[in-house]
Structure 1
Amino acid sequence: MADPKQVARNHWFRNDDLPGVAGPERDLVGYGATPPRVRWKDGAKVAVNIVINYEEGSEKTFAMGDGMNDGMYELPFDVDDQRDLAKESMYEYGSRAGIWRMFRMADRLGVPLTVFGAAVALERNPAVAERIVERGDDLVSHGYRWIDHYEYSREEEREVIGLAMESFRSNWGLEPVGWYCREMSVNTRELLVEDGRFLYDSDYYGDDLPFWTKVAGKDHLVVPYSLVTNDCRYIMGTGFGSPSDFVDTAKRTLDQLLDDGDDCGRMMSIGIHPRITGNPARLNGLAEFVRYALDTPGATFMTRTDIARSFAEQVPAPS
């Protein structure tokens, strides 16, 4: 077997990607200096999208036969060879308490929500799914379970996508047109286009505006997401130490997008999790930013699917 380090050394002189590598081609250019001039609801320059990642109960656990405990936890402790009941209870906080606190905030402040929903998580807490339907929230498929899609074969991933969509349809009468998985594979986007039910995916972090791409000869929309204004930074690596850190980052993000040196509109994604931002202090910080954005001229709150459709109307697919 070839030594991977030697292979890497042999390619140090390349100035392009290898031909035939699986997955989408890299695009390092994007819109460049001339992004399209878009406007959102009520002529706003920045569309703010709040995304609840509802995954609790679908994460990897010994209880579900995965032989491991998921890693996103408040403290840097790992239990390797048995159930981690402490970690499981953190996730349960999200489904028992955190998600309801989020719904109450959104109701009180009158802002729309997008839910990246894992099908199994909603199956295991039907009351949450029923509330999403009742509120009319924007459901984006977060897969069947909260798993890394790159761990599965193309056929297995195709099956997982189908299982998720069938669950949403048969249990709740919902047919998402958007997709975001935990970690996409080189096959994910091709499978979504092959499936035919998806207007867009959000498995991308490389822009502040949606953009069209070509997959298997078909136009497909990408609506980027963000890991910057995202509450995973409370518990992973060097990130937010307090809700004030989140509020400051979110405010500065919005202020910059509103005055970004040109006349182009942009979008701002805020990613939150019931087990993380559902805790009182962090939800209080989110509410503080929402009030700030509501009082800021040029900003509006929209769902992700409304952003996708509005963009597609203003910037039609090339073909």
Structure 2
Amino acid sequence: MSEPLRDLAGYGAEPPHAAWPGGARVAVSLVLNYEEGGESNVLEGDAASEGYLHEVVGAPPVVGGRDLNSESMFAYGARAGFWRVHRTLAAHRVPVTVHAVGQALERNPEAGRAMGAAGWEVAGHGRRWIDYRDVPEDAERADIADTVRTVERLTGRRPVGWYTGRTSPATRRLVAEEGGFLYDSDDYADDLPYYVEAAGRPHLVLPYSLDANDFKFLIVHGFTTADDMLAYLVDTFDVLHAEGADRPRMMSVGMHGRIIGRPGRIRALDLFLRHVAQLGGAWVATREQIARHWLAAHPPPR
């Protein structure tokens, strides 16, 4: 249970049987990262414009000034891409977890209300979409608390999950100390949830994914077409589905409105969900549902 400097052993050759509801072979967690409006911008007092995860791959940030092209690409995610993803998920009637940046929700409260009305889980994703590596601990703690208040106010329910993405060494401890979270997802190390020790007590980690993730459209040698992402998602699901006959697994799919919400990419999500439904054996669930199941079926060691 205790988290060493690096745990490279994990569950080893005999991972636990997940016992997903309905005998599912794979628990599928769809995650929409809502960040648009929280990215770096000199208008917010940042040193430079946002240089990460926009369509002009490799373009350096503008130091001391605005990058209006980058700003408008992020705006697309809030204005149009989010709603395209929303319509697609509603058509398939599947649940989703949103990693929501507090300031991004404040900039588009209608989106927050739509998340709440749809019954989506909304987890915390930081006050701003920034790298917290060098943020003072007191400031990071305050940002976590502020994000909790913002999510609850705009969606109607406080977050019980957390994902910073670009963490500080203190992030997990601060999340555990806050006391209201069931889990965090700042981890990519396994196909199943597991426990670590944080703030002196057992803490549940639900691993996330940067491989089955649409952000690979915006990196060199990543996805180019919707078919690229679709093939990767289908291959991932099919392997986990086959393994799940003996040892059920968990699959995370990461998305962003400004990325997969583009017209030329949304079919990757649509056709993947059709494939999951056709093959069967999947429990499509929020991360909160997965966490609550794991806490009940596999409680932490005493």
- Structure 2 residue identity aligned to 1:54: Y
* Equivalent pairs, count: 297
CA distance in structure 2 between the partners assigned to 1:105 and 1:170 by the alignment = 26
Aligned counterpart, 2:35: 55
Matches within 5 A, 1:299-314: 299-314=282-297
Question: In the alignment, is the contact (CA less than 8 A) between 1:49 and 1:267 conserved in 2?
Answer: yes
- CA spacing shift, 1:101–1:265, aligned 2, 3 Å: same
Aligned counterpart, 1:12: none
Question: In the alignment, is the contact (CA less than 8 A) between 2:113 and 2:154 conserved in 1?
Answer: no
- Structure 2 residue identity aligned to 1:156: A
Aligned counterpart, 2:81: 98
Question: In the alignment, is the contact (CA less than 8 A) between 2:112 and 2:154 conserved in 1?
Answer: no
Say whether 1:183 aligns with 2:166: yes
Deviation at 1:146, TM superposition (A): 0.8
Say whether 1:74 aligns with 2:55: yes
Indicate the SS of the match to 2:250: strand
Aligned counterpart, 2:9: 29
Structure 2 residue runs without a partner (length 5+): none
CA distance in structure 2 between the partners assigned to 1:233 and 1:209 by the alignment = 23
Matches within 5 A, 1:153-302: 153-260=136-243, 263-302=246-285
Deviation at 1:138, TM superposition (A): 0.6
Indicate the SS of the match to 2:288: helix
Question: 133-142 or 261-270, which moves further after superposition?
Answer: 261-270
CA distance in structure 2 between the partners assigned to 1:105 and 1:65 by the alignment = 36
Indicate the SS of the match to 1:309: helix
TM-score of the aligned structures, taking structure 1 as reference length:
0.90
Indicate the SS of the match to 1:149: coil
Question: In the alignment, is the contact (CA less than 8 A) between 1:58 and 1:120 conserved in 2?
Answer: yes
CA distance in structure 2 between the partners assigned to 1:159 and 1:264 by the alignment = 40
How big is each residue's C-alpha offset from its partner over 1:24-76, in whole Å with a ceiling of 9 and x where there is no partner?
Answer: 62111000011110132322110111100000001111222212111222123
CA distance in structure 2 between the partners assigned to 1:102 and 1:311 by the alignment = 28
Question: 220-229 or 281-290, which moves further after superposition?
Answer: 281-290
Deviation at 1:260, TM superposition (A): 2.3
CA distance in structure 1 between the partners assigned to 2:228 and 2:50 by the alignment = 26
Deviation at 1:215, TM superposition (A): 1.6
CA distance in structure 1 between the partners assigned to 2:221 and 2:43 by the alignment = 30
How big is each residue's C-alpha offset from its partner over 1:267-293, in whole Å with a ceiling of 9 and x where there is no partner?
Answer: 100000000000012111111111001
Deviation at 1:261, TM superposition (A): 7.8
Say whether 1:118 aligns with 2:123: no
- Structure 2 residue identity aligned to 1:46: V
Deviation at 1:171, TM superposition (A): 3.8
CA distance in structure 2 between the partners assigned to 1:288 and 1:303 by the alignment = 20
* Bigger Rg, structure 1 or 2: 1
Of the candidates 118, 121, 139, which is equivalent to residue 138 of structure 1? 121
Question: In the alignment, is the contact (CA less than 8 A) between 2:61 and 2:67 conserved in 1?
Answer: yes
Deviation at 1:78, TM superposition (A): 2.7
How big is each residue's C-alpha offset from its partner over 1:225-262, in whole Å with a ceiling of 9 and x where there is no partner?
Answer: 00000011001122111111101110010111011286
CA distance in structure 2 between the partners assigned to 1:129 and 1:216 by the alignment = 31
- Structure 1 residue identity aligned to 2:174: L
Question: In the alignment, is the contact (CA less than 8 A) between 1:293 and 1:300 conserved in 2?
Answer: no
CA distance in structure 1 between the partners assigned to 2:232 and 2:154 by the alignment = 38
TM-score of the aligned structures, taking structure 2 as reference length:
0.95
